[in-house]
Amino acid sequence: MTPENEQLMAYVDGELDAAARAQFERAMAADPALARSVATQRALRARLAAGLSRQLAEPVPERLVHTARTAPAGPASVATLSARRPRAQSQPSRARVWALPATLAASLLLAAVLGVALWREPGAGGLALQNGQLLARGPVSAALSGLLVSSQPADAAVRIGLSFRDHAGRLCRTFMVHAQASAGVACRTGADWVIESVAAAPAEPEAGSQLRMAGSGWPASLMHEVEQRIDGEALDAAGEQRARARHWQP
């Protein structure tokens, strides 16, 4: 997307601030072709909205109204949740993303944040320290190499959020370990996945609860981290498939 095009879309979508909007409108007044492009984009927006607006007028099935008014509201035990909330609030630092300098101190911190249980699995070993870098091993590494966002099981222990290329050209992926209430970014470096940063993810709800899948649950701080690292945009489903076929090599 060219910067001009990006500006045009942002203008049509009402995303520009007052100053940028005024500037864009001056450019538009001086450039009939630009004004035509804006008109075309506005027409497309209006056409979509008008074409689909009929659906808003359709009568809503009674069963859906019934569900909204009567389906059980969670959590079953309100006391449990309210007991959990103050604790989460009293630990604001857990919401931070720890960008990792490749030092032992950071590694120990990471292990603590991610929770050591995962990494202690006999024989599996979720984490390895090598040449000052933290490498994913075991289940995390397997998920990073094997799972596609579009086809991963809903109940996977390690879930992948998105895949992208970083400024160094490496392929990186966000991952979440529900059981450890942790999420992170790992980048493929040679034959390894280097863990670049981790963040606290929302704690896992009761086992077997549908809550686990509701909402995206990815920490905003991690998304910010991705925005700092990403070159271009996240891979789509086809791009991921190709990247996996290349074993995540650049």
Partner 1 sequence: MTDQQSAALAAFREQLVALLPRLRRLARGFARVPADADDLVQLALERALQRWLQWQPGTRLDSWVFGIMRNAWLDELRTRRRRGEVLLAEEAGAEVAAVGGAQPLEALAIEAALHELPEEQRMAVLMVLVEGLSYKEAAEALGVPIGTLTSRLSRGREALALALA
Interacting residues with partner 1 between 2 and 21 (CB under 8 A): 5-6, 9-10, 13-15
Q: How far is the CB of 187 from partner 1 (least distance, A)?
A: 16
Q: How far is the CB of 174 from partner 1 (least distance, A)?
A: 9
Q: How far is the CB of 162 from partner 1 (least distance, A)?
A: 6
Residues 117, 120, 123, 124, Cα dihedral to 10°: 50
Contact present, 169 and 182 (Cβ < 8 Å) = no
Q: How far is the CB of 247 from partner 1 (least distance, A)?
A: 22
Contact present, 173 and 243 (Cβ < 8 Å) = no
DSSP state of 237: H
Contact present, 174 and 159 (Cβ < 8 Å) = no
- The yes or no reply on residue 116 touching partner 1 (CB under 8 A) is no
Distances (CA, A) of 23 to 16, 41, 152, 181: 10, 19, 46, 46
Q: How far is the CB of 42 from partner 1 (least distance, A)?
A: 11
Q: Which two tokens stand for residue 121?
A: 């699995």
- The yes or no reply on residue 207 touching partner 1 (CB under 8 A) is no
Interacting residues with partner 1 between 26 and 55 (CB under 8 A): 40-41, 44-45, 47-52, 54-55
Q: How far is the CB of 216 from partner 1 (least distance, A)?
A: 4
Interacting residues with partner 1 between 69 and 98 (CB under 8 A): 69, 71-75, 78, 81
Please choose, from the candidates 6, 7, 30, 29, the residue with its C-alpha nearest in 3D space to the C-alpha of residue 20: 7
φ/ψ of residue 45, rounded to 5:
-60, -45
Distances (CA, A) of 223 to 11, 183, 199, 236: 25, 10, 10, 17
- The yes or no reply on residue 161 touching partner 1 (CB under 8 A) is yes
Task: Select from 129, 230, 241, 244 the one that contacts partner 1 (CB under 8 A).
Answer: 230
Number of residues that bind partner 1 (CB under 8 A): 66
Task: Select from 17, 87, 210, 242 the one that contacts partner 1 (CB under 8 A).
Answer: 210
DSSP-assigned states of every residue in 113-145: HH-HHHHT-TTT-SEEEETTEEEE-HHHHHHHH
User: Interface residues with partner 1 (CB under 8 A)?
Assistant: 1, 5-6, 9-10, 13-15, 40-41, 44-45, 47-52, 54-58, 60-61, 63-65, 67-69, 71-75, 78, 81, 150-154, 161-162, 164, 205, 209-211, 213-216, 218, 220, 223, 226-227, 230, 232-234, 236-238
